[in-house]
Amino acid sequence: MSGIAPRRFLVSATHKSSGKTTVAIGLCAALTRRGLAVQPFKKGPDFIDPMWLSAATGRRCRNLDPYIADEDEVAATFVRHAAGADVALVEGNKGLYDGVAIDGSNSNAALARMLGLPVMLVIDARGMTRGVAPLVLGYQAFDRDLRIAGVILNQLGGSRHEAKLRAVIEHYTDIPVLGAVHHDPGLAIVERHLGLMPSNESSEVPRLIADIGAAIERQVDVERLMTLAAEAAPLRAPAGAADGAPDPLEADIRIGVAQDRAFGFYYADDLDALRAAGATLVRFDALADAQLPNVDALFIGGGFPEMHARELEANASLRTRIRNLIDAGGNYVTLTPGAAFFDSVLSFALVRSGRLDIAFLGALEISARGDLANWIIPGRYSPGIGGGMELAQKARRVIVTTTHTTKEGRPKILPACTLPITAKACVDTIITELAVIDVTPQGLRLRELSAGTTRETVKSLTAAPLIVPPDPIPEFS
């Protein structure tokens, strides 16, 4: 397709925690150091890996998710943001064939077929020698329509281990070994319960990215990888590839966005959509800034604020100014789960002000505590959707920053779209790892349970009242 990056590929792996993110970061850094414009993408709803890929390339990483968007939407996003880049690198999630659907329709492999991406398969080869051959052959045979262009061996024990693996793969398969990355504790990135440590938390990140890039440059045949990436299959022109701009806001709005070591989880497309709607985004640091910028609204994203609780607690001046902004009629605030620090500052402030014109609803997530259906609403930390709907209905319009609804039976993301304000418009269905819950005029109603989850568990984790039908409830896996 005219204008799209001529070289594009998917970095995937045989299973989760194989080191594909480290390899992807290293490739981004190595290619960027060569003077190439590298546009990174990440499959799935993910904040942390995109932050690392953005830091390695200097370009904002974009999310692609065939589970919550249809093929045309995914292709349109890819084409729009890959245009003008020299290389488009897509990092997968989990294993190449993993996904929620049993038919693999939302797997990394499906995304590679959809976008015509050659696959560079990362294999954690610790403890393996001859057994790597049936592994590679099995991945190749499982889907003959997928092109595994090369393998990158990771976590090798030394040059002897590398030589054995190369000999086996070259003897039994026709897939080239593009690289062999030896185990190096110095390249490890700290992991937490949600994945890697976010890249906004440490001043050492630029050095670590440079070290990872140098290691990949030494141990991966980048030139050959680029040649294979240039052989990507033609990409079908997606329907409606033009930007889907949201409705313009009715007034000029300046939105303060907390971007610091505590708060950094934002989808680039959400921020773009807010700008496209006419909002001016102004960055501030919730840890260091004693004053708020001159703004009408606050957008405080997710992150790990609990890791910086002492600094947040010490910044009493900023907390006071947040309260003052709201009490003075600053009607636009959103938080995401984990930001309970602001609870005492923001509780009910907007309800008291009585001047809510536009409401922001944040993302539905399951927090580290396992809370179900945590909705963070304007001016209030609300553990449950009920309060969010009550407050949102006071507004003339609502902006849904990232949420789920249904479209022909499939969940779908609505990035920063504006909708007429009704409870039905805010969200139709809550979809979590534990349950599917319908939002009805009577309240939340349990529709489906995940296998092994009891209705009592879901009810105990849902802060808002939950209607539990007496009939048997279908299960999903």
Read off the CATH number of the domain in which 44 is found: 3.40.50.300
Q: How many domains does the chain have?
A: 2
Question: Is residue 313 domain-shared with residue 381, that is, in the same domain?
Answer: yes
Residues 6 or more apart whose CB falls under 8 angstroms from that of 323 comprise 345, 346, 349
Question: Is residue 221 domain-shared with residue 267, that is, in the same domain?
Answer: no
Give the pLDDT band (50/70/90) at residue 47: confident
103 within a domain of the structure (yes/no) = yes
CB 224 within 8 A of CB 271: no
Question: Is residue 147 domain-shared with residue 58, that is, in the same domain?
Answer: yes
Stronger pLDDT, 34 or 397, i.e. the higher one: 34
pLDDT at residue 195, as a whole number: 65
Stronger pLDDT, 12 or 442, i.e. the higher one: 12
Average pLDDT value for residue range 355-370 = 31
Question: Is residue 329 domain-shared with residue 414, that is, in the same domain?
Answer: yes
Question: Is residue 169 domain-shared with residue 283, that is, in the same domain?
Answer: no
How is 109-176 classified by DSSP, letter by letter? HHHHHHHTPPEEEEEE-TT-STTHHHHHHHHHHH-TTS-EEEEEEEEE--HHHHHHHHHHHHHH-S--
Instruction: State the average pLDDT for the chain.
Output: 75
- In sign, the C-alpha dihedral spanning 477, 71, 64, 21 is positive
247 within a domain of the structure (yes/no) = no
DSSP state of 191: E
pLDDT exceeds cutoff 70 at 427: no
Question: Is residue 90 domain-shared with residue 191, that is, in the same domain?
Answer: yes
pLDDT at residue 465, as a whole number: 67
pLDDT at residue 82, as a whole number: 93
Question: Is residue 195 domain-shared with residue 323, that is, in the same domain?
Answer: no
pLDDT in tens, 9-32: 999 999 998 999 999 999 999 999
- C-alpha torsion 170→175→178→179, nearest 10: -60
Question: Is residue 300 domain-shared with residue 390, that is, in the same domain?
Answer: yes
CB 232 within 8 A of CB 89: no
382 within a domain of the structure (yes/no) = yes
Give the pLDDT band (50/70/90) at residue 203: confident
131 within a domain of the structure (yes/no) = yes
Q: Return d(Cα 333, Cα 330) in angstroms, integer.
A: 8
Stronger pLDDT, 36 or 352, i.e. the higher one: 36
- C-alpha torsion 201→202→203→208, nearest 10: -130
Question: Is residue 218 domain-shared with residue 291, that is, in the same domain?
Answer: no
Domain range for 67 is 7-229
pLDDT exceeds cutoff 80 at 50: yes
pTM equals 0.71
Least confident of 110-114, 181-185, 256-260, 382-386: 382-386
pLDDT in tens, 66-113: 877 788 889 999 999 999 899 999 999 999 999 888 898 889 999 999
pLDDT at residue 330, as a whole number: 55
Q: Return d(Cα 290, Cα 199) in angstroms, integer.
A: 24
Angle, CA 86 vertex, CA 82 and CA 92 arms, to 5°: 55
Average pLDDT value for residue range 193-221 = 87
Question: Is residue 323 domain-shared with residue 386, that is, in the same domain?
Answer: yes
